[in-house]
Copies of this chain bind each other. A is one copy, B any other.
């Protein structure tokens, strides 16, 4: 910066002000500085700037993993807003491991981010303590039910489960099964299943069986689980899956086996991925606004200085495909 200042014949602080385009800068000064800066192709050092100004233009983002198609979309949404505001995301992946999540959050907080976006609402005292100490705005995404640290942006997984149960009941299914994976991590999968079971009970058609896999979700696993569940409980006429990957596996199996979907077997997924809308029979699912969730979370984070913590229910939509 000193070099730029010398070359432009002004003080360092003037360079600083032009670079940040602070108010009350004369055109003459701005010209001199930008010319000098370009000539030297000067890049400001944000580490120093953030250190001094105690605010960093970094936003910490903690997600479980990129292997579930939901989170890339969320990240796209987050970046779309951050980019527009000249902010950068520092990313941490927890791998669904609470200990690793704590470690990652601690690391990210050490960059004094402008805010932090966390996934889910289940965070222990360790996390709450760190956040409180740093006094950093928090937005938690995915869920809107629970005891949040800051703002929440997401959908009601229990309402979504109830809507799914209602939809399947309305379609005439009476002997319904459930397939989940990855030991029902994250917790919201469990919450969803429980609400689903309760609503089926309420309809007088209790869940026939739930098959929870240990592996991570994938279409292949979904197909295998579908076979297993139907073998053990041949009376099942419909399956609700924890996500579209599993459901697609089920659908592909059903197509191969020549089952009459949706008459002989109904299939319902969760998330409403694009791919499910292009299958020979479009997959019925619960559409969740993933991109928007990320965008809104970033947006809320930036507003949270002025407005307080909020809860935003982005809602879901029952996508009535051909599999139910």
| A108 contacts partner chain B, Cβ-Cβ < 8 Å | yes
By size class, the interface of chain A is 35 or more
| Closest CB in chain B relative to A310 CB, distance in Å | 25
Q: B86, A107: Cβ atoms under 8 Å?
A: yes
Q: Is chain A's interface secondary structure helix, strand, loop, or mixed overall?
A: helix
- Which of A20-28, A40-48, A199-207, A298-306 touches B? A40-48
| 0/1 interface trace, chain A 208-221, chain B, CB 8 Å (1 if under) | 00000000001110
What residue in chain B is nearest A222 (Cβ atoms)? B278
Contact B88 A107 (CB under 8 A): yes
New contact pairs (13) apart from A46-B110, A90-B90, CB-CB < 8 Å: A41-B130, A43-B106, A43-B109, A45-B110, A47-B47, A47-B50, A58-B90, A67-B73, A83-B104, A88-B91, A219-B274, A223-B278, A275-B275
Partner-B contacts on A (CB < 8 A): 41, 43-48, 50-51, 56, 58, 61, 65-67, 69, 71-73, 75-76, 79, 83, 86, 88-93, 100, 104, 106-112, 129-130, 133-134, 218-220, 222-223, 245, 248-249, 252, 255-256, 274-275, 277-280
